[in-house]
A and B are shown apart, each in its own frame.
Chain A
Amino acid sequence: MSLFGEVPQATPVAVFKLSNDFKDDPNPMKVNLGVGAYRTDEGQPWVLPVVKKVEKLIVADNRLNHEYLPILGLPEFRSSASKIALGEDSPAIQENRVGAVQCLGGTGALKMGAEFLRRWYNGNDNMKTPVYVSAPTWENHNSVFANAGFKDVRPYKYWDAEKRGLDLAGFLGDLETAPKHSIFVLHACAHNPTGTDPTHVEWMQVAEVMERRKLFVFFDSAYQGFASGCLDKDAWAVRYFVTQGFEMFCAQSFSKNFGLYNERVGNLTIVARDADNVRRVLSQMEKIVRVTWSNPPSQGARLVAITLNTAELFAEWKDNVKTMADRVLLMRASLQAKLQALGTPGTWDHITQQIGMFSFTGLNPKQVEYMIKERSIYLMASGRINMCGLTTKNIDYVAKSIHETVVNVQ
């Protein structure tokens, strides 16, 4: 008789199962276009040169130890991370109305934001406030908000499968009809999984409706720098909303743009009306942190803080980021060109129009299954591919496989 006799087997998280299946595949031609981690042209993980440099600095510094960080994290990390998102000269920073919580990756930042909102936003412990996530979105968004207690997590129209682009009318329509004070999770750039971002003009339209209807802005920024190769360009939407006077949250991840995936480096940036509001919000964030992880891990945050706060290292980092973004752009251009040259049915412009790590190919579930089973090319059932999985050595195989799949499987 067991206390846990009734515990059912949970279905595995899809993206990790995909990686496991890839690992077990004996086909030498196999390609992993699943998990969102950067790969070099040799198909290898890449520890950024600047990261290696700073790690050595940390090891050599005898003043450093492994003592607890404050509950909200390393102060120099929090402030420099927020500056990255909002810009050095952000009016909100100058007006002293920005706060931050160092968190365990982007997921941790979303979690802290969600837990806070459930307790303190739109009343106290109001679990009925609707939370809108894009259709489609990173699948974990749903769980983060549901586990924080929100009972009503709904999709907002975003991806237009037919035209393979943004469903702006649908998006704006959902903003117009959402109950007031609803929370909207917006992807700051390089939308996951579609790679489709609103243009500046489209963002302005979104902001106008959100302001008028008093909707809460919660940005998820996991790819700053990674999308266009330029930090400021990728932060345009976040900064625009700040200039429009929004109070908002921005969950930042340094997993991809610093390649620090397993060190769990994230930051929840809070923009509020004034310093007093920030102070009180942070004091309540501390309570939530204390019952979740007490204080965050020091290694990754220290590394990022040193990099962001040292001029030459900061420059080197931006360069490393551009290297990654440029390779992705090159693979996009190359894949699109090859599919066009092959005469693959359909249009493939979306591959170069989309931005960031992912591309929503438009392949349907049957075609995806074919790719996996017959070609050992692993991608998500949604048709999402990680551009980083493409290399100059495998891109021909992948292009030909997509061609064959589209032609033979409907």
Chain B
Amino acid sequence: CVLLVTSAAAPSSQRCLSWWGGVQMGPPDPILGVSEAFKRDTSPKKMNLGVGAYRDDHGKPFVLDCVRKAEALIASKQLDKEYLAIGGLGDFTKSCAQLALGADSEVLKSGRNITVQTISGTGSLCIGANFLSRFHSASRDVYLPKPSWGNHTPIFRDAGMQLKAYRYYDPSTCGFDFNGALDDISKMPEKSVIMLHACAHNPTGVDPKPEQWKEIADLVKKRDLLVFFDMAYQGFASGDIDRDAWAVRHFIEQGHKIVLSQSFAKNMGLYGERVGGFTVVCNDAEEAKRVESQLKILIRPMYSNPPMNGARIAATILNTPDLYKIWLEEVHGMANRIIKMREQLAANLKNEGSTLDWQHVIDQIGMFCFTGLKPEQVERLTKEFSVYMTKDGRISMAGVTSSNVGYLAHGIHAVTK
């Protein structure tokens, strides 16, 4: 049998007989683990403010009407289930790129982008990270904003990249550390990869203003950095598709050859269908073809070709004017409910008698709010009030409703006064 390093618990003789005796128990995922703990809690007042999945004002999952209509349309067509191409459904990838870049984008007209269908945002980042690892020999460094989505780090690390950080969130203002970011960007070695959240920064909800984006774009160009945009919330941040894509489009207009990850998990509520896209903006169409061929070489040994169902739904919505219109309204509706909850939370905290400044709850944007709560306060909020959130103080506003916002304010006030 295989010689083993000593490890905990199980009888050593049993482990000795197994290939897996040396496999340690992996730590629970910090974000998804919150949901597991929430499920086990029996309190009737419990709140799950962990995962960023939208909930309606009754706290229920929301299946968009445009999605249901698209599904009915698709069902009536009696389509077959033949394999998609490695790069995915053409109708989807085209409209996916158009959504991000804008219908009148010069990039689309000249065909100098390659957009492949991916397994939602994670799958897109995975392909992107591995593509850069394989072909961006000029640098191994990926700069993430501090903080960033927890899963960014292991994705890039697993692809063989080196993780670095740039200042982003200012805890003293609960806002954007613009000067800190510029300062750090100015020092990044040329050709490093810089990860930018296109809108609705996760986990802080803090986005740069357009004037700030302009300065960032200029500096990034001066430093000759490779821009990797992660856009998981287009439409969800401000309620306006084009406004949320402004930064991406501005960078492209300024000549940046970006790579871009898109997710339709949130803005179309297609979470479990795994709908996403990965785009590389190239010099020209010929280069795009070469890049495409290499992306396929990466994808084939991962999962051969992507799943149809969600992409078909998304493509139908994006390409059917009536459904597209309904979708825009529904996205606007979801974003508005979030904005309203922010306002109500801030108001309720004031009513509770909190003397702290909660302006950031209203200023931050998108699904998440970086409350500013410290780990000990988060722990108390969970233990004493059954409010579940991640240790960094992040709450998903989507989990807040008009019926529980008062309770939440009460709990937050209790642990922060």
In whole Å, how far is A86's beta carbon from the nearest beta carbon of chain B?
18
B306 contact set on A, CB distance < 8 A: 104, 264
CB of A76 within 8 A of chain B?
Answer: no
Q: What separation, in Å, do the CA atoms of A298 and B269 have in the docked complex?
A: 13
**Residues 294-308 of chain A: 1 if any B CB is under 8 Å from the residue's CB, otherwise 0?**
111111100000000
Q: Are the C-beta atoms of B290 and A7 separated by less than 8 Å?
A: yes
Asked whether A4 lies within 8 Å of B303 as measured between CB atoms, the reply is: no
The one of B22, B81, B272, B302 in contact with A262, judged by C-beta atoms closer than 8 angstroms, is B81
Q: Say yes or no: A262 contacts B291, CB within 8 Å.
A: no
**Chain B: minimal CB distance from A37 (Å):** 6
B12 within 8 A of A: no
B9 at the interface (CB under 8 A from A): yes
Asked if A243 CB lies within 8 Å of chain B CBs, one says no
B289 within 8 A of A: yes
Verify A68–B293 contact, CB threshold 8 A.
Answer: no
Which residue on A lies nearest to B51, using beta carbons?
A: A68
Answer yes or no: A326 CB below 8 A from chain B CBs. no
B18 touches A273 (CB 8 A): yes
A sample of 13 more A-B contacts (CB under 8 A), given A107-B301, A277-B18, is A3-B136, A6-B135, A9-B289, A68-B272, A71-B29, A104-B119, A104-B306, A105-B303, A124-B22, A264-B307, A274-B14, A291-B122, A297-B310
Partner-contacting stretch, out of A282-290, A317-325, A362-370, A399-407: A282-290
Quick one: which of A144, A260, A284 contacts B23, CB cutoff 8 A?
A284
Asked whether A298 and B81 contact (CB < 8 A) given A120-B23, A144-B301, the answer is no
Within 8 A of A (CB), among B253-279: 257, 265, 269-274
Interface residues of A in 1-43 (CB under 8 A from B): 2-13, 16, 35, 37
Contact across chains for A297 and B126 when beta carbons are under 8 A apart: no
Task: Give the distance to chain A from B69, nearest Cβ to Cβ, in Å.
Answer: 12
Chain B 73-85 near chain A by CB (<8 Å), digits 1 or 0: 0010010111111
Classify chain B: how many residues form its interface, as a range: 35 or more
What is the minimal beta-carbon distance from A96 to any residue of chain B, in angstroms? Answer: 13
Beta-carbon contact of A12 and B293 below 8 Å: yes
Q: Determine whether A309 belongs to the interface, using a CB cutoff of 8 Å to chain B.
A: no
Is the Cβ of A7 less than 8 Å from the Cβ of B271?
Answer: no
Distance A276 CA – B18 CA, assembled complex (angstroms)? 11
8 contacts between A and B (CB under 8 A): A8-B290, A45-B80, A67-B272, A69-B272, A261-B83, A262-B307, A263-B307, A297-B274
Which listed segment binds A: B151-159, B235-243, B350-358, B391-399? B151-159
For the complex, what is the distance from the CA of A128 to the CA of B306, rounded to whole Å? 30
| B63, A5: Cβ atoms closer than 8 Å | no
B298 nearest in chain A by CB position: A147
Please tell me which one of the listed residues B14, B23, B303 contacts residue A111 in the complex, with CB atoms under 8 A apart. B303
Query: Contact between B123 and A4 (Cβ–Cβ < 8 Å)?
Result: no
User: Which residues of the partner chain A approach B309 to less than 8 Å between Cβ atoms?
Assistant: 263, 297, 299-300
The yes or no answer to A272 lying at the interface (CB within 8 A) is: yes
Evaluate whether A277 and B158 lie within 8 angstroms (CB atoms) in the complex, with A3-B257, A10-B296 already known: no
CB neighbours of A68 from chain B (8 A): 51, 53, 265, 271-272
Contact residue among B137, B151, B257, B294 (Cβ-Cβ distance under 8 Å from A294): B151
B303 touches A104 (CB 8 A): yes
Point out the residues of chain B lying under 8 angstroms from A146, CB to CB: 301
Q: Are B303 and A107 in contact (CB under 8 A)?
A: yes
A143 touching B300 in the complex, CB below 8 Å, given contacts A7-B294, A247-B18, A299-B307:
yes
A84 beta carbon closer than 8 Å to chain B: no
The 8 closest A-B pairs by CB, nearest first: A104-B303, A298-B272, A143-B301, A283-B26, A273-B18, A294-B122, A262-B308, A45-B80
B132: nearest chain-A partner, CB-CB: A3
Q: Decide yes or no whether B280 CB sits under 8 A from chain A.
A: yes
Q: Are A293 and B290 in contact (CB under 8 A)?
A: no
Q: B29 to chain A: which residues have CB within 8 Å?
A: 71, 286, 290
A247–B81 touching, CB < 8 Å: no
Question: B174 to chain A: which residues have CB within 8 Å?
Answer: none
Please name all residues of chain A whose beta carbon is closer than 8 Å to the beta carbon of B294 when the two chains form the complex.
Answer: 7-8, 10
> Does B119 lie within 8 Å of A2, measured CB to CB?
no
The reply to whether A121 and B273 contact each other, CB–CB distance below 8 Å, is: no
Q: What residue in chain B is nearest A263 (Cβ atoms)?
A: B307
Closest partner residue, chain A, to B303 (CB atom)? A104
Assess A2 versus B287: contact at CB under 8 Å? Given A65-B61, A297-B310: yes
Tell me how far the C-beta of B85 lies from the nearest C-beta in chain A, rounded to whole angstroms. 7
Q: Does B103 contact A (CB under 8 A)?
A: no
Give the residues in chain A near B301, CB-CB below 8 Å. 107, 111, 140, 143-144, 146-147
**Residue B401, interface by CB 8 Å:** no
Judge if A169 is at the interface, Cβ distance under 8 Å.
no
Q: Which residue of B lies closest to A180 (CB)?
A: B2
Confirm or deny: B297 has a beta carbon within 8 angstroms of a beta carbon on chain A: yes
Docked-complex contact A37 and B303, CB < 8 angstroms:
no
In the complex, which residues 290-345 of chain B have their Cβ closer than 8 Å to any Cβ of chain A? 290-291, 293-294, 296-298, 300-310
What residues on A are CB-neighbors of B120 within 8 Å? 293-294
Residue of B nearest to A111 (CB): B302
Report chain B residues within 8 Å CB of A181.
2
Q: Are B305's CB and A262's CB within 8 A?
A: yes
Q: How far is the CA of A120 from the CA of B5 in the complex (A)?
A: 13
- When distances are taken between beta carbons in the complex, the residues of chain B under 8 Å from A16 are 85-86
Whether A263 contacts B81 by the Cβ 8 Å rule is yes
- Cβ-defined contact, A298 with B302, below 8 A: no
Q: Could you tell me the distance in whole angstroms from the C-beta of A11 to the nearest C-beta in chain B? A: 8
| Interchain nearest-CB distance for B120 vs A (Å) | 7
Closest-CB distance, B377 to chain A (whole angstroms): 27
Q: Shortest distance in angstroms between B129's beta carbon and chain A's nearest beta carbon?
A: 9
**Is there an interface contact between A66 and B273, defined as CB atoms closer than 8 Å?**
yes
Complex interface: chain B residues within 8 A of A104 (CB): 119, 302-304, 306-307
B144 CB–A CB distance under 8 Å: no
Is B82 in contact with A261, judged by CB distance below 8 angstroms? Answer: yes
A330 within 8 A of B: no
A53 interface residue per 8 A CB criterion: no
A389 at the B interface (CB under 8 A): no
A280 touches B (CB below 8 Å): yes
Closest to B21 in A: A277
Report how far A294 CA is from B121 CA in the complex, Å.
Answer: 9
Whether A59 and B272, one on each chain, are in contact in the complex, defined by CB atoms closer than 8 angstroms, is: no
A392 touches B (CB below 8 Å): no
Asked if A262 and B303 make an inter-chain contact with CB atoms under 8 angstroms apart, the answer reads: no
Interface check B138, CB cutoff 8 A:
yes
- A281: shortest Cβ distance to chain B, in Å? 5
A155 to chain B, nearest CB (A): 17
- Asked whether A280 lies within 8 Å of B83 as measured between CB atoms, the reply is no
A13 touches B71 (CB 8 A): no
Q: Is B24 part of the contact surface with A, judged by Cβ < 8 Å?
A: yes
Report A213 CB to chain B, min CB distance, Å: 13
Cα A284 to Cα B154 in complex, Å, equals: 13
User: In this assembly, does A279 line the interface, its C-beta being within 8 Å of a C-beta of chain B?
Assistant: yes
Which residues in B have their C-beta under 8 angstroms from that of A287? 26, 154
Point out the residue from B14, B32, B289 that lies within 8 Å of A71, measured CB to CB: B32
Is there a chain B Cβ closer than 8 Å to A241's Cβ? Answer: no
A292 & B26 in contact (Cβ 8 Å cutoff): no
Instruction: Tell me if A259 counts as interface (CB < 8 A to partner B).
Output: yes
Interface centre among A56, A259, A286, A297 (most CB of B within 10 A): A297
Whether B61 contacts A260 by the Cβ 8 Å rule is no
Chain A residues, CB < 8 A from B137: 6
B323 to chain A, nearest CB (A): 16
Distance in Å from the Cβ of B42 to the closest Cβ of chain A? 21
Task: Write out the residue numbers on chain B whose beta carbons fall within 8 Å of the beta carbon of A59.
Answer: 71-72, 75
